[in-house]
Structure formats: structure tokens, C-alpha cells
């Protein structure tokens, strides 16, 4: 059995014009790597980390891999600790955590860090080169190129995110980040618009289709940010007397769906992940669903208000879910992180509240 002992994220900032517009991606990554090593003020020896897996989407492969390696050195890791990247689009941060969990389960190492990183200020979503004309011969391939705004046609997200910020709900999961420009420290998400109203959103023009309903107000924001999750074998965590924030129970890796309706990915991934965990949907107390275009209800606001830094989102969602479960305590035993994925996929993972140490065979309803 393996546990998550800490999970942190940076604030999420608007790309090109937000707090991180002049911040290097490796500086964002270094901040969260440092943070997850300090568990309840007990610093984990960086030399004990078996692997650092970074979910990231837009950065050029070789360059981003080197940036992640340099970030590890900035954060104080020894040269013996390996670093690699993984790209599963919107679920990259979640995939990174799942890869670490799988490696621990396989016995490759005892402690690892799963990370998500994206700077959409530095790396844009532009297609490089020409699209293969063969794509027009296969409808499913053609649909892989559709933006989320077309496939899923909510002041509510902004209202919830603003309320969560005001009440301090994000305080325990956010690591303040000092920026190079005037040494300003960014400590809150800057994409939330507290004054957003349904009537105000109704006045915005559709951005993908003339007769559509997806506007700039109900689409996930282009953003910068990072998140990291420290995982280790439960017996190792207990020996070190570290708090257990949550237990990684199961993962449904990139379940495929029709690319034309990729927003339904979570509807397929969630049941699969829940089944793998030996549970039923009714056992799940909390869902953290990454909303990209107003696709579902979010407890403390989602990508529409907070932003959607592609590679970072999965790790950000885990930090949000686990800290919310900690706040709710014994009334919230099982939670799910889920998101849809570009080109027609979905991913989901089940977590158990840290203080629930009994085996699943004794879980509720079983």
C-alpha cells in the first residue's frame, strides 16, 4: 500500500498577462518540488527520492526534460535522483502521479514525486508544421483536432472559487512563488473574477461557433502553474512518522471515447477507476472534476475560474481534492480526481482519506 504524504501547488495565473508571465517554467517547478519535501516540518532527504515524474504538455520535449532536471537541482535534489517527463495532455499531472504509484507498487523504489507543470506564457498551443492531409480521410482522426469548446457546448465556477479563496480553503495547498520582476510574491490564483454574473456572461459572444454557447467566460483559462505530490510506501511513511494525507487507491488510465465528444471522458473513466478500487459510485464522497468548458459542477471552482495549465492540472486537482478531504475529515472517506483529455480520452483516480487505515474489505457498504 502506498500513501500521499504531501500535495502542493503554485497559484494558477493567467498566461501572458498574469503573475507568472515572466517566470521560467523550471522556477515554478522548483518551488513545488521543495514544498513537498517538507512534510509537517519534517524534511524528507532528497536523496531518498527514487524518481521525479513530471507531467507536461506544450514544452519542446528535450528542452522541457532539461528544464525539469535543472529545476530538481534548484530544489536541492542530488544528481542521483532521476527526472523524466510524461505527456498525456490534460491528464499529464495525474498520469505522472499514477506512474510513481505504479513504480512504488512494483517495488522499483519506496518514495517518488509526481508533478504537473505548464507555462502557457512560454509555450503556446499552436500547431507546428502542417496537418497531415490524410486526417480528412478518417472522421475520428479529424475529430481529434476539434477544440474542447466545440465538443462540449458558469458564473458559478467563479463564485465558488472566489468564496473558497476568501475563506482560505486554498491556503494549505498553495505555495507562494517569488517572481523575478520586482521580487513580487504570488500567493493567490489570479484568474478568478469574483464579480462574474450569469447576466454578464450571457452578453459574451460565442468563440467557437456563431450559434454556440461556449464563450470566453465559460471556457478554461490559458494559464501557468505547477503542482507536486509526494508518494511513498505506507510502512515507510509510518516508520518516518509522517502524516498520511491520502491513499492512492486506483487509476483508470486514459480511457478512450469518441473524439467528437471528448468532454464525456470522465463519465467512462470514473466507473472504471471506482471498480478497480473495489468500490461503487455511491461510496465516493467527493469529486474533483476539471471543468474546461462548463461541463460539470465543481466544489471550489474549476478550470473556468482557476485556469487550466495543461500539464499541471492533474496534480493541481489532487492537491485540491486531498486538502478538501482533510478539511471534511471522517465524513469524506473516498474522493475522485477526473478530467477529459484532448483527442477523445478520459482519466480518473480514486483516493482514500489519510486517516482511513482499515482495508477495503471493511469499507462502507462492503
Q: Which residues are catalytic?
A: 90, 308, 340
State how far the Cα of 286 lies from the Cα of 283, in Å rounded to an integer: 9
State how far the Cα of 136 lies from the Cα of 232, in Å rounded to an integer: 46
Q: How far apart are the first and last CA of the chain?
A: 19
Cβ atoms 345, 255 nearer than 8 A: yes
Query: Which alpha helices (DSSP H) does 240-345 contain, by range?
Result: 265-276, 303-306, 313-328
H-run or E-run covering 114: strand 111-119
Cβ atoms 95, 310 nearer than 8 A: no
If you write DSSP's letter for every residue of 118-160 in order, what string do you get?
Answer: EETTTS--PPPSPPPGGGGG-HHHHHTT--HHHHT--HHHHHH
How many DSSP H helices and E strands does the chain contain? 11, 14
Neighbours of 239 (CB within 10 A): 10
How, if at all, do strands 185-186 and 177-178 pair? antiparallel
Task: Say which residue the cell 452578453 belongs to.
Answer: 203
Closest CA to 285 of 362, 358, 364, 227: 364
Amino acid at each position: 500500500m502506498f500513501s500521499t504524504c504531501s500535495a502542493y501547488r503554485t497559484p494558477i495565473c493567467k498566461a501572458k498577462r498574469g503573475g507568472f508571465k515572466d517566470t521560467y517554467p523550471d522556477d515554478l517547478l522548483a518551488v513545488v518540488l521543495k514544498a513537498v519535501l517538507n512534510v509537517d516540518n519534517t524534511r524528507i532527504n532528497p536523496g531518498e527520492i527514487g524518481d521525479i515524474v513530471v507531467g507536461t504538455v506544450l514544452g519542446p520535449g528535450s528542452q522541457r526534460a532539461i528544464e525539469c532536471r535543472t529545476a530538481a537541482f534548484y530544489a536541492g535534489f542530488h544528481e542521483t535522483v532521476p527526472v523524466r517527463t510524461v505527456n498525456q495532455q490534460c491528464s499529464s499531472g495525474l498520469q505522472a502521479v499514477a506512474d510513481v504509484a505504479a513504480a512504488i507498487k512494483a517495488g522499483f523504489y519506496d518514495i517518488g514525486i509526481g508533478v504537473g507543470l505548464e507555462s502557457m506564457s512560454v509555450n503556446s498551443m499552436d500547431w507546428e508544421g502542417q496537418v497531415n492531409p490524410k486526417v480528412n480521410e478518417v472522421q475520428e482522426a479529424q475529430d481529434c483536432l476539434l477544440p474542447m469548446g466545440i465538443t462540449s457546448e458558469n458564473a458559478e465556477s467563479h463564485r465558488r472559487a472566489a468564496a473558497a479563496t476568501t475563506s482560505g480553503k486554498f491556503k494549505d495547498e498553495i505555495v507562494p512563488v517569488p517572481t523575478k520582476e520586482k521580487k513580487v510574491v504570488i500567493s493567490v490564483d489570479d484568474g478568478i473574477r469574483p464579480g462574474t454574473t450569469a447576466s454578464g456572461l450571457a452578453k459574451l459572444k460565442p468563440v467557437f461557433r456563431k450559434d454556440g454557447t461556449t464563450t470566453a467566460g465559460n471556457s478554461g483559462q490559458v494559464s501557468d502553474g505547477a503542482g507536486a505530490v509526494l508518494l511513498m510506501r505506507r510502512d515507510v511513511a509510518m516508520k518516518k512518522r509522517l502524516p498520511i494525507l491520502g491513499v492512492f487507491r486506483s487509476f483508470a488510465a486514459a480511457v478512450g471515447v469518441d473524439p467528437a465528444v471528448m468532454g464525456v471522458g470522465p463519465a467512462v473513466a470514473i466507473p472504471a477507476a471506482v471498480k478497480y478500487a473495489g468500490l461503487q459510485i455511491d461510496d465516493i464522497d467527493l469529486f474533483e472534476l476539471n471543468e474546461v468548458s462548463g461541463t460539470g459542477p465543481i466544489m471550489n471552482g474549476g478550470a473556468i475560474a482557476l485556469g487550466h495549465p495543461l500539464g499541471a492540472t492533474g496534480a493541481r486537482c489532487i492537491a485540491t481534492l486531498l486538502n478538501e478531504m482533510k478539511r471534511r475529515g471522517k465524513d469524506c472517506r473516498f474522493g475522485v480526481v477526473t478530467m477529459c483529455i484532448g483527442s477523445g480520452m478520459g482519466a480518473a483516480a480514486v483516493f482514500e482519506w489519510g486517516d482511513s487505515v482499515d482495508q477495503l474489505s471493511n469499507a462502507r457498504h462492503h
